[in-house]
């Protein structure tokens, strides 16, 4: 994502959008440094300046790193309300539901992510759907999902590893 994504989203002054982008970048930097409380504060400032689906999603991601899964899911719902075409929050909700052990509930979220119009990493929900199917013992569906992830991103190491592990375990 770049500043252009922020500048085209929704109504608002260009100055506010640029400030929101700067705050978002600062928040992300703090998140990567594991300065999570500071990241939360900066994401919230970005959202107060100019709300975007990305900022809600990344705030949720930060909450997940803090073990605050329900709050992470809540932020993803806000992201979806902001931009229903943005795929990341759908995938993230599914991943958070896996963390909670709610496998069946995660499936429709991954399917929504797969069909999202705007998603930079469409292989991710296929991998995550494969993880759910594998845990449920649905080997064929899991293998198919891993193969779809690899078709979208042939260099996706996690998908390659998951597929290889599952296939070798079935032999």
* pLDDT tens sequence across 15-59: 888 899 999 999 999 999 999 999 999 999 999 999 999 999 999
Q: Encode pLDDT of 99-151 as tens digits.
A: 999 999 999 999 999 999 999 899 999 999 999 999 999 999 999 999 999 99
pLDDT surpassing 60 at residue 71: yes
Residue 14 pLDDT > 90? no
- When computed from its CA atoms, the radius of gyration of the chain, rounded to whole angstroms, is 17
Compute φ and ψ for 101, nearest 5 degrees: 80, 15
Establish if 131 belongs to a structural domain: no
User: Does residue 157 lie within any of the structural domains?
Assistant: no
Which residues share a beta bridge with 86?
118
Q: Is position 86 within any domain?
A: yes
Give the range of the structural domain holding residue 43, as residue numbers without chain letter. Answer: 14-93
Q: Is residue 154 included in any domain, yes or no?
A: no
CATH of the domain at 86: 1.25.40.10
Number of domains, the chain: 1
Q: Residue 21: what pLDDT?
A: 92
Helix (H, G, I), strand (E, B) or coil at 86: strand
Query: Rounded to two decimals, what is the model's pTM?
Result: 0.90
């Amino acid at each position: 994502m770049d500043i252009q994504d922020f500048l085209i989203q929704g109504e608002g002054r260009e100055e506010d959008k640029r400030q929101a982008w700067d705050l978002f970048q600062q928040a992300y930097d703090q998140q990567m440094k594991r300065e999570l409380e500071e990241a939360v504060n900066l994401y919230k400032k970005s959202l107060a300046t100019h709300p975007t689906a990305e900022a809600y999603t990344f705030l949720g991601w930060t909450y997940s790193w803090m073990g605050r899964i329900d709050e992470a899911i809540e932020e993803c719902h806000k992201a979806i309300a902001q931009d229903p075409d943005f795929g990341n929050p759908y995938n993230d909700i599914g991943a958070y539901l896996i963390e909670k052990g709610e496998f069946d509930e995660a499936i429709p979220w991954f399917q929504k992510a797969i069909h999202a119009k705007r998603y930079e990493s469409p292989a991710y929900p296929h991998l995550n759907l494969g993880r759910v199917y594998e845990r449920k013992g649905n080997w064929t569906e899991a293998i198919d999902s891993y193969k779809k992830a690899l078709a979208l991103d042939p260099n996706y190491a996690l998908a390659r590893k998951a597929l290889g592990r599952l296939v070798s375990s079935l032999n």
